[in-house]
Structure 1
Amino acid sequence: MNQRPRHGHRLPVQHAPDRRAFLGRCLAGLAAAGLARPQAHGQDRGQVLPEHLTPEILRAIERGTDYLANTQADDGSWIIGGGQAYPVAMTGLAGTAFLAHGDSPTRGPYAKHVQGAVEFLVRCSTPSGLLTGPSQDNGQPMHGHGFALMFLASVYGMITKESLRREVREAIRKAVILTARGQSIHGGWTYVPGTGDEGSVTVTQVQALRAAHNAGFLVPPAVIEEAGNYLEKCRTPEGGIAYSLGSGGGPRLPISAAAVATLYNSGQFDSPIATDCLKYVWDAFQATDAWHKGGGHTYYAHLYAAQAFYMAGDEYWDEYFPETRDHLMGLQAEDGSWNGDGIGEVYGTSIAAIILQLPFKYLPVFQR
């Protein structure tokens, strides 16, 4: 199993190889074999892909990212496939899928789409620091705020246009402050800042803060510590995480998977709660069919379980990923999309693309 950082150590920012250059070198081989369109990316049979990835998987990824590119609105947002109700959240997720593909605002076939997503989300920065639109993402802005902040923080270092870089820097700075101030007295967050706490919103805020920290922004350590304490308070006897501190009942698998990824993001690889929660999630994935997890939140559960198992090491990833990869391949629609959890195609496609591209290690927040 890969070496992991010890509890309490700051996780390093890793720099992955230039996948864009790699895929460019590979294109000629696939084109000669008649397997690639002129604009697609592929793999020469003489090149070595990350383990468990194949040329067929690369084509599925390209079809998915093409779908996202073709459905982006003129203002840089996504207003279909889940975007009608949650435009900020969908834009943050779709933008993250492009970053996981190796694109930036100035490089790659989706550069203009990344740029558009950045510009849209900057316009969603409000005086309070909340990243949201007029509809407040269906009156539940903190999920979208978290996904948008994680995307903006992840893309910040790639922005070369100085005026836009200043705007993004200010949006991130204010968003971090808003998140810190919106934390409940128990250490968590809920759908509206400062009104309570529950697990799913809490994990989005912690991942967003981790991305901001990676980008060089000041994140108060006490905020992260209190978030960890909140998850500890929500731990159940089974080792998983309940929906919220006051909800009672047993553990929720999707939130437990998200908690593992979040604890790893904060450096708690070997803490008792991370160890117990990983065991609970892993046992649950082993017990029955590995795909249908989390009730109606299957894609959400896999988004975080994939991160958790990837960061936990090869022992977990090598068993989890091939079956999940194959199941996603079978679920992809003719237009390249995935419909996730009944929310829509942008949501499902973004999550599927992120999961399938984890081995390329483009985003530090998803790296081991």
Structure 2
Amino acid sequence: MVSKQKWRFFFIFLLLFFLSLADGKTQVHKETKFFHRDLRLKEAILKGLDYLAKNQDPLEGSFSKQYKLAVTSLAGLAFLAYPESGYQRGRYGKVIDRALRYILRLAKDSTGKIKYRPGLGIWLNDGEEQGRMHAHCYATLFLAEVYGLLRKKKQEQEVKIILKGAIQCLLQSQTYGVVYRNGKRMEWGGWGYYHKYEPKNNEDEASTTVCALQALRAARNAGIFVPKSAINRAINYVKLCIKKDGSFRYSLVRGVKRSSFELTAAAVSTLNAAGVYHSYELERGLQYMRDSMAKQKQYGSTVDEAAQTWYFYGNLYAAQAMYQAGDVYFLPWYKEVRQVLLKKQKPDGSWIHRKFGKEYATAMALLILEVPLNTLPIFQR
């Protein structure tokens, strides 16, 4: 017979367990409520979303005149990241649906048949030469995030087939290498600008690798099978890119001396997204980011050329990295970035990037501002 004392301890344990769950839910609710009470932030986000909605091609469903696939995917994610958007039924439901249909069409031939290539899978490409793998990864990420929101069975099946094919393309295009650290064998694998059957497909670099890894994790979270070995090799690739000062280098095979705040932010946020919450690389990367944060507050100035060119890219990943690190890191950083972005927003709701265009800049700025809304699974703590 179980003693009364043991039963007492058992019930105390259960009580503490459920209280901890309730407390966790309360914290998330308070956090979300805090950002929803920020009316200036909400107004800025809605103005930005309205700008994108007005500038979507009504027939094609794409955004921007250049880098269509990448920008459309990022814009789609920006709409999904706002809690009141809603797929199909919400304020921007039709906008999201048109963007989805545009991406799905790129996976088909002129007859409407899905372009599946044996030994590769499905390569999502809009004909743009620059940033091809980045675009494929952003599109794959968007498909993974929207997949769980679909209501129509036929469309859900179509997205699943194309998403699985896009993931297969990433798996087939991952590079392979081996190093030995402290007597232990480490297999690594990254991605470059090309898929498996293109020239220079064995050239990998960190910025595409982090995009691919986030897409793989999002797909896995959506229920799509992704081999753990592929994710582990990608995690090892990112970890091996760290330098002594805590920054992360551009590549393991070329440009090994080159590192930056932007690549470090991308590496740290991606390690978090991949489930690496405590590691030497993560802590050193976060410290480097805190020490290097000043130049990232200079949007619109000429203080640092790299900070200007990659301002949105760097701060989108910094937002995720800081958010995952906790409020001690995130809140002071977000307060300043929020102030800069709201000040630089144009009257029509857009932001500007001299190289990649207004739609790109607006989508990225919105995603940065939307991270603490905790809506997209890839952003969630």
Q: How does 1:1-368 map to 2 (within 5 A)?
A: 49-51=33-35, 54-80=38-64, 84-102=65-83, 103-125=85-107, 126-128=115-117, 129-135=121-127, 137-186=128-177, 187-194=189-196, 195=201, 196-245=203-252, 246-285=254-293, 287-288=294-295, 290-292=297-299, 294-295=306-307, 296-340=309-353, 342-368=355-381
Q: 2 CA distance for matches of 1:288 and 1:119?
A: 39
- Asked which structure has the greater RCO (Cα within 8 Å, sep 6+), the reply is 1
Q: 1:289 to 1:256 in 2, by over 3 A?
A: closer
Contact 2:249 2:260 in 1 (8 A): yes
% identical equivalent positions: 36
Q: 1:344 to 1:134 in 2, by over 3 A?
A: closer
Query: Deviation of residue 104 (structure 1)?
Result: 3.2
List runs of 5+ in structure 2 lacking aligned partners.
1-23, 108-114, 178-188
Q: 1:76 to 1:208 in 2, by over 3 A?
A: farther
Deviations 1:279-316 (A, max 9, x none): 1112111x556344743211110010011001110001
Q: Once superposed, what is the RMSD of the aligned Cα atoms?
A: 2.3
Q: 1 CA distance for matches of 2:36 and 2:268?
A: 23
Q: Give the SS at the match of 1:197.
A: coil
TM-score by length of structure 1 reads 0.82
Q: Number of aligned pairs?
A: 322
Query: Deviation of residue 134 (structure 1)?
Result: 4.4
Q: Give the SS at the match of 1:107.
A: coil
Q: Which has the larger radius of gyration?
A: 2
Q: Give the SS at the match of 2:116.
A: coil
TM-score by length of structure 2 reads 0.79
Q: 1:79 to 1:65 in 2, by over 3 A?
A: closer
Q: Give the SS at the match of 2:49.
A: helix
The letter of the residue matching 1:151 is: F
Contact 2:122 2:168 in 1 (8 A): no
Q: Give the SS at the match of 2:42.
A: helix
Q: 2 CA distance for matches of 1:16 and 1:161?
A: 31
Query: Deviation of residue 52 (structure 1)?
Result: 8.8
Q: 2 CA distance for matches of 1:240 and 1:227?
A: 17
Deviations 1:135-172 (A, max 9, x none): 1x325421111111111110101111111111100011
Q: 2 CA distance for matches of 1:299 and 1:185?
A: 30
Q: Give the SS at the match of 2:195.
A: coil
Q: Give the SS at the match of 1:365.
A: coil
Q: 1:352 to 1:140 in 2, by over 3 A?
A: closer
Deviations 1:115-139 (A, max 9, x none): 111111111224233443441x325
**What's the counterpart of residue 34 of structure 1?**
none
Q: 1 CA distance for matches of 2:363 and 2:275?
A: 26
List runs of 5+ in structure 1 lacking aligned partners.
1-14, 23-47
Contact 1:236 1:250 in 2 (8 A): no
Q: 2 CA distance for matches of 1:297 and 1:58?
A: 25
Q: Give the SS at the match of 1:279.
A: helix
Deviations 1:60-89 (A, max 9, x none): 100000011111112444342xxx331111
Contact 1:199 1:244 in 2 (8 A): yes
The letter of the residue matching 1:107 is: R
The letter of the residue matching 1:117 is: A
